[in-house]
Chains A and B, each alone.
Chain A
Amino acid sequence: MRPSSFRYHKAESVDHALELLARFGEDGRPLAGGQSLVPMMNLRLAAPEHLVDIGGLPLTDIAFTDTAMRVGALVRHRQYLAEPRVAHHFPALHEAVTWIGHPTIRENGTTGGSLSHADPTAELALAAMLYDAVMIVRNTAGERRIAAADFFEDAYVTALQPGEMLVAAEFPLPPVGAAGAFVEFAERRGDFAIAAIGVSITVADGRIATAAIACSGAEPRPIRAPEIEMMLSGRPLTDPQSRAAGRRLAAAIDPVGTFLTTADYRKALIGELTARAIDTACARAASR
């Protein structure tokens, strides 16, 4: 379990990285934390001819403007936990990050790596869907902004084209006072999730004004649940009828079974987690 040979290129700047990726096209891959790519290479499930090491590039900051949070592609998972404004504006994102892998993975795994790898139950991908994040993608010709909903196409498949690199993810700031929750279920803490739910709500007069719900485990990519979101709007925080919402979401999805998990179980689990996430978000909003 050692990787095949490849040619190594250390990118000196973002432009240099993009030039290298343009030159190698499908044969090139960016390398940063390596937490997803290198296991695949060691197992010889991936064998890129060229690796472009972007580890030294200045894409390491979480920056806030009046309207958005911009997360550089090289932001490590642990940085979300160290930045108090993340928990303040994006409580479900903050909670989601605590579920990513194990401490050493959170030290080294990067935002760009996780989003580009597009594991179907990755926490960051779900959070990007939940908060309507925009993927900032560049190649030598320029920049594309891709909505999360369009970015994640399938399991391990994104809208990224050969020569393109994700440089940042932009999370629009929710209205002040938004509450949220993230719940996940795996056999062991830190495993790839069987299912996860993120909820974000805004509140007016003790009631849910708007709701966003994102779900992983239902499809080979994270999804939103617009019908459930509509259903919740206007419900009192003290009685959001979360069980009904969970049942409705479970009824609407058609997850696949695996050799470890049956489809029925996943369906029921998603319903239950949905209810719990809604209840938690409402309780948090109510306690403010």
Chain B
Amino acid sequence: MTSADRRHQIGGADRPRHIGARVRRVEDRRLLSGAARYLDDIRQPGMLHLGFVRAQAAHARITDIDTSALADLGAEIRVFTGQDTSGLTIKAPAGHDPKSAALPDGHQGYWRMQDSEQPLLADGVVRFVGEPIAAVLAEDAYVAEDAAERIAVAYEALPVVATMAQAQDPSIPPIFAGWTSNVYIERQMAGGDLAAARAAAAHVIRRTYYNQRQAGVPMEGRGVVAAYDPADRVLTVWSSTQIPHLVRTYLAEELGFPESRLRVVAPEVGGGFGVKGQVFVEEVLVAWLALKTGRPVKWVEDRREHLVASIHARDHLHTLTAYVAADGRLLGLEADITVDVGAYSTFPFTAGGDPGMAAKVLPGPYDIPAYAATFRALATNKCPLGTYRGVARPSAVFSQERLMDDIAAEIGMDPIELRLRNVVRTFPYKNALGFSYDEGSYAQALERVRDLVAEDRAAARASRASATTRIGVGVACFIEQSSHGTPDFTRRRVPIETGYIAARVTMEPDGEVTVDIGLQNHGQGHETVMAQVAADALGVAPENVHVRQGDTLTTPYSVGTWGSRGGPLGGGAVHEAALKIAAKLKAIAAHLLQTDASRIALHGGRAVVIGNEGSYVEIRRLARIALRNVDQMPAGMEPGLEAQCSLDGPADGTYSNAVHAAVVEIDIATGKLRLRRFVVVEDCGTILNPLIVDGQVRGGVVQGIGSALLEHFIYDEDGQPLTTSFADYLMPLAPEIPNIEVHHIETPTPRTPLGAKGLGEGGAIGPPAAIANAVADALGVPVSATPLNANTLWTLAADIRAAAETDRDG
């Protein structure tokens, strides 16, 4: 069945016209004209501006906070410290439900984790550079910064845990009182008979791989405004967040404030990429300060704060052991995964999120009968780790796909052929851990890429004789579990708890449609896609659909936008809710046209009798009847056209797949890498809007290129951050980036209403592996770590230079 055929059958909707079309985004006008309102555009009368005094020591006891220099500032300043906010924290424990004790070990079960609580303002000890120590309120943002600069903090140094090795050194004391080591959590997961794999293996290949620490860096930083209205006792909090409802619940619980009187609004959000998918101390603090002072309070993060004190990502060290048969078949895989997750566990995915995810997904697209992993999260005096596009999967895929190339090199097999020999080909497939994969196109994608880069591979082989320029081609084949459902989180015992998205669809008396959805757009074009989906179900045009999100006052409770769930679950929820209204419209139309509802189709703004296009009722007339002229409705039918659907993810999620190929050219003398091509073949199931799918893939790929080549958040041995501005933290700029070629295979999933699988993160997952494989191919050396900056590549090319010298001198 082709995807087009399938779309005609999706959930019983009539004649899809907009789903799958390259519809221009409705968001664009306000974003292009400058009319869009981001967090910093929120202003309230009498608003105070918050500035932070942040820790300059990585691990220290605070011995004094001296505010005496504020006196000569000539402005009214209010200062708050940890004594004022005592007891208020970000709590992100895992597995404290006593029922969890009954669960078997395995998957991502995080129970019995050592807890950390991050105070809103330091509780006498600071644990990373950038941790908030004091909050300063002033009438003006410039003055707040003046005041923060004048507050002097005295420290007594404590032993700094700055590396993974130090975190595992028993002679260095834990950074939290009551802890027994600097390990938040260490767990195993396993499935299949690894002993048998070991016994049968013709080759045992063991490698260690590392991905560097990164920052996320949306172009708009974080920011929060809070205002309490004593008239109706409502606290409104505006935050540049991806998860407004989760922020609301956290604030209600932590501040003891009735959730019904809390309103969280995410305005236009200038990028998030997962960074804005946690609840931060600053959000709780700004809300608390607004209640405490009775004045609106605003905080807008500056770029240095963002780099040192939002969240970081990656910092994964993996050691993999592959047990391989003589013919290249993978018999078993063992993984040891260590992640430096920094100073505090983050809410809601916890310190276990990254290492657990890496352990869970490492079998990847391959049919590996036996698998065992040990994963651990280490506490260090660095910025906490949180979610950033791909969450652990860029690192897992880096290790998995570097390993495949290393195996291929060791046993003398073509790397694409090795992958084809091992990929899963029959679906649904249950992997060694018990996860069930829905239908995909793993082998087809590999074959397509093999064809697309055939000439580049020939050019790479031809460049082997060159002492000056080498070409290399690398591929990365991967799957991405997305749209996780509640059972996945129940297994993990983490505070996220669930993963559903709710949508409420309302048709107004004039026939226009409002969709209120619990996602929060931060660049994905939800307003466009959800309008396409609703339009198809209701037989109207996308222009007739107004999509609203981000405001807990108007949108139904949902977990927000993360984990690539917008299209499959958000789109699915809109579709299901709209179908309920469609059914009612059809019933009214059938009543008016004196036929059966099953004979009515909705399209082009009309309810039409199937097979008799001349017999119809305008949909807007039906809306008027349902809401105003209810006397014309069928007897006994309830007035109104409003429906809601809360759609949870399937138990094992959906599995998108993709193959990325990088073609690199390396200048042997300088280490300069040029990306000649970057090719993507991807399958995210039903494509809802190809314009947006391509945009998500390309944007993700370029972030992944940044991970592979440039972006590195560096600390020195004292835990001092060194890359605190855009002069040092290097992200891809346009001249270094090629056009990204994107090809699609469409294998709809039966697990979501529209057949869509998640795709927002996938672009960022493949590039580190594909580029590292291309570098290894070009230079003929193993590549075990990123970033592959020019200096590193120059070092890796040393043997080629030496050989050339020998040739010349000899």
A binds B: yes
Task: Give the distance in Å from the alpha carbon of A65 to the alpha carbon of B669 in the complex.
Answer: 42
A residues in contact with B714, CB < 8 Å: 259-260
B residues in contact with A185, CB < 8 Å: 670, 672, 790
Q: Which residue of the partner chain A has the closest CB to B732?
A: A188
Interface of B is mostly: loop
B670, A1: Cβ atoms closer than 8 Å: no
Q: Give the distance to chain B from A46, nearest Cβ to Cβ, in Å.
A: 13
Q: Give the distance to chain A from B735, nearest Cβ to Cβ, in Å.
A: 5
B146, A5: Cβ atoms closer than 8 Å: yes
Task: Give the distance in Å from the alpha carbon of A273 to the alpha carbon of B669 in the complex.
Answer: 9
B794, A188: Cβ atoms closer than 8 Å: no
Interface residues of B in 708-722 (CB under 8 A from A): 710, 714, 716, 722
B789, A260: Cβ atoms closer than 8 Å: yes
Q: Is B201 an interface residue (CB 8 A)?
A: no
B142, A187: Cβ atoms closer than 8 Å: no
B residues in contact with A273, CB < 8 Å: 670
Q: Give the distance to chain A from B151, nearest Cβ to Cβ, in Å.
A: 14
Interface stretch, picked from A202-210, A217-225, A261-269, is: A261-269
B727, A187: Cβ atoms closer than 8 Å: no
B141, A2: Cβ atoms closer than 8 Å: yes
B residues in contact with A4, CB < 8 Å: 146, 149
B669, A272: Cβ atoms closer than 8 Å: yes
Q: Which residue of the partner chain B has the closest CB to A265?
A: B791
Q: Which of B304, B669, B730 contacts A191 (CB 8 A)?
A: B730
Interface string of A37-48 (1 = CB under 8 A from B): 000000110000
A43, B725: Cβ atoms closer than 8 Å: yes
Task: Give the distance in Å from the alpha carbon of A265 to the alpha carbon of B790 in the complex.
Answer: 9
In the complex with contacts A190-B733, A259-B714, A259-B716, A265-B795 CB distance below 8 A: yes
A187, B304: Cβ atoms closer than 8 Å: no
The number of residues on chain B lying at the interface, defined by a beta carbon within 8 Å of a beta carbon of chain A, is 30
Q: Give the distance to chain B from A192, nearest Cβ to Cβ, in Å.
A: 7
Interface residues of B in 745-799 (CB under 8 A from A): 789-791, 794-795
A260, B141: Cβ atoms closer than 8 Å: no
B residues in contact with A190, CB < 8 Å: 733, 735
In the complex with contacts A191-B730, A259-B716, A265-B795, A2-B145 CB distance below 8 A: yes
Q: Which residue of the partner chain A has the closest CB to B709?
A: A187
Task: Give the distance in Å from the alpha carbon of A1 to the alpha carbon of B142 in the complex.
Answer: 8
B residues in contact with A265, CB < 8 Å: 671, 790-791, 794-795
Task: Give the distance in Å from the alpha carbon of A144 to the alpha carbon of B624 in the complex.
Answer: 86
B residues in contact with A5, CB < 8 Å: 146
A residues in contact with B716, CB < 8 Å: 259
In the complex with contacts A259-B714, A265-B671, A44-B736 CB distance below 8 A: no
Q: Is A189 an interface residue (CB 8 A)?
A: yes
B789, A187: Cβ atoms closer than 8 Å: yes
Chain B CB count within 10 A is highest, among A2, A44, A272, A273, for A2
Task: Give the distance in Å from the alpha carbon of A192 to the alpha carbon of B727 in the complex.
Answer: 8
A residues in contact with B671, CB < 8 Å: 265
Task: Give the distance in Å from the alpha carbon of A191 to the alpha carbon of B722 in the complex.
Answer: 17
Q: Which residue of the partner chain A has the closest CB to B667?
A: A272
A187, B146: Cβ atoms closer than 8 Å: no
B670, A272: Cβ atoms closer than 8 Å: yes
Interface string of A1-13 (1 = CB under 8 A from B): 1101100000000
Q: Is B728 an interface residue (CB 8 A)?
A: yes
Task: Give the distance in Å from the alpha carbon of A261 to the alpha carbon of B714 in the complex.
Answer: 13
Q: Is B302 an interface residue (CB 8 A)?
A: yes
Q: Give the distance to chain B from A242, nearest Cβ to Cβ, in Å.
A: 12
Q: Give the distance to chain B from A263, nearest Cβ to Cβ, in Å.
A: 11
B residues in contact with A192, CB < 8 Å: 727
Q: Is B112 an interface residue (CB 8 A)?
A: no
Q: Give the number of A-B contacts (CB < 8 Å).
A: 58
Q: Is B303 an interface residue (CB 8 A)?
A: yes
Task: Give the distance in Å from the alpha carbon of A4 to the alpha carbon of B141 in the complex.
Answer: 12
A residues in contact with B145, CB < 8 Å: 1-2, 44
A residues in contact with B723, CB < 8 Å: 259
A187, B730: Cβ atoms closer than 8 Å: yes
Q: Which residue of the partner chain B has the closest CB to A3?
A: B142
Task: Give the distance in Å from the alpha carbon of A5 to the alpha carbon of B736 in the complex.
Answer: 39
B791, A261: Cβ atoms closer than 8 Å: yes
Interface residues of A in 45-101 (CB under 8 A from B): none
B residues in contact with A189, CB < 8 Å: 733, 735-736
A residues in contact with B789, CB < 8 Å: 187, 260
Task: Give the distance in Å from the alpha carbon of A273 to the alpha carbon of B146 in the complex.
Answer: 45
Q: Give the distance to chain A from B674, nearest Cβ to Cβ, in Å.
A: 12
Q: Which of A1, A188, A259, A268 contacts B710 (CB 8 A)?
A: A188
Q: Give the distance to chain A from B550, nearest Cβ to Cβ, in Å.
A: 27
Q: Which residue of the partner chain A has the closest CB to B712?
A: A260
B residues in contact with A2, CB < 8 Å: 141-142, 145
Task: Give the distance in Å from the alpha carbon of A5 to the alpha carbon of B75 in the complex.
Answer: 13
Task: Give the distance in Å from the alpha carbon of A261 to the alpha carbon of B671 in the complex.
Answer: 12
Q: Give the distance to chain B from A131, nearest Cβ to Cβ, in Å.
A: 26
Q: Give the distance to chain A from B314, nearest Cβ to Cβ, in Å.
A: 18
B722, A262: Cβ atoms closer than 8 Å: no
Interface residues of B in 635-677 (CB under 8 A from A): 669-672
B residues in contact with A191, CB < 8 Å: 727, 730
Q: Which residue of the partner chain B has the closest CB to A275?
A: B669
A260, B728: Cβ atoms closer than 8 Å: yes
Interface residues of B in 578-601 (CB under 8 A from A): none
B672, A188: Cβ atoms closer than 8 Å: no
Task: Give the distance in Å from the alpha carbon of A64 to the alpha carbon of B303 in the complex.
Answer: 44
B302, A188: Cβ atoms closer than 8 Å: no
Q: Give the distance to chain A from B565, nearest Cβ to Cβ, in Å.
A: 34
B residues in contact with A259, CB < 8 Å: 714, 716, 722-723
Interface string of B366-393 (1 = CB under 8 A from A): 0000000000000000000000000000
Q: Give the distance to chain A from B187, nearest Cβ to Cβ, in Å.
A: 34
B residues in contact with A43, CB < 8 Å: 304, 725
Task: Give the distance in Å from the alpha carbon of A157 to the alpha carbon of B142 in the complex.
Answer: 30
Chain A CB count within 10 A is highest, among B669, B727, B736, for B669
A residues in contact with B791, CB < 8 Å: 260-262, 265
Q: Which residue of the partner chain A has the closest CB to B801?
A: A268
Q: Give the distance to chain B from A174, nearest Cβ to Cβ, in Å.
A: 28
A residues in contact with B735, CB < 8 Å: 188-190
Q: Which residue of the partner chain A has the closest CB to B791?
A: A265
A residues in contact with B672, CB < 8 Å: 185
Interface string of B74-89 (1 = CB under 8 A from A): 0000000000000000
A residues in contact with B710, CB < 8 Å: 187-188
Task: Give the distance in Å from the alpha carbon of A269 to the alpha carbon of B716 in the complex.
Answer: 25
B residues in contact with A187, CB < 8 Å: 710, 730, 789-790
A residues in contact with B790, CB < 8 Å: 185, 187, 194, 265
A residues in contact with B733, CB < 8 Å: 188-190
B residues in contact with A261, CB < 8 Å: 791
Interface string of A177-203 (1 = CB under 8 A from B): 000000001011111101000000000
Q: Give the distance to chain A from B127, nearest Cβ to Cβ, in Å.
A: 22
A residues in contact with B794, CB < 8 Å: 265, 268-269
Q: Which residue of the partner chain A has the closest CB to B735?
A: A189
In the complex with contacts A2-B141, A265-B794, A44-B149 CB distance below 8 A: yes
Interface string of A109-127 (1 = CB under 8 A from B): 0000000000000000000
Task: Give the distance in Å from the alpha carbon of A204 to the alpha carbon of B149 in the complex.
Answer: 62
Task: Give the distance in Å from the alpha carbon of A268 to the alpha carbon of B158 in the complex.
Answer: 40
Task: Give the distance in Å from the alpha carbon of A194 to the alpha carbon of B551 in the complex.
Answer: 48
Interface string of B106-149 (1 = CB under 8 A from A): 00000000000000000000000000000000000110011001
**What are 12 of the A-B contact pairs (CB < 8 Å)?**
A4-B149, A44-B149, A188-B733, A188-B735, A188-B736, A191-B730, A259-B722, A259-B723, A260-B791, A265-B671, A265-B795, A273-B670
Shortest beta-carbon contacts, A-B, top 7? A1-B302, A272-B669, A189-B735, A265-B791, A2-B142, A259-B722, A188-B733
Interface residues of A (CB under 8 A from B): 1-2, 4-5, 43-44, 185, 187-192, 194, 259-262, 265, 268-269, 272-273
Known: A5-B146, A269-B794. 14 other contacts (CB 8 A): A1-B302, A2-B141, A4-B146, A43-B725, A44-B145, A185-B670, A187-B790, A188-B736, A192-B727, A259-B716, A260-B714, A260-B728, A260-B789, A268-B794
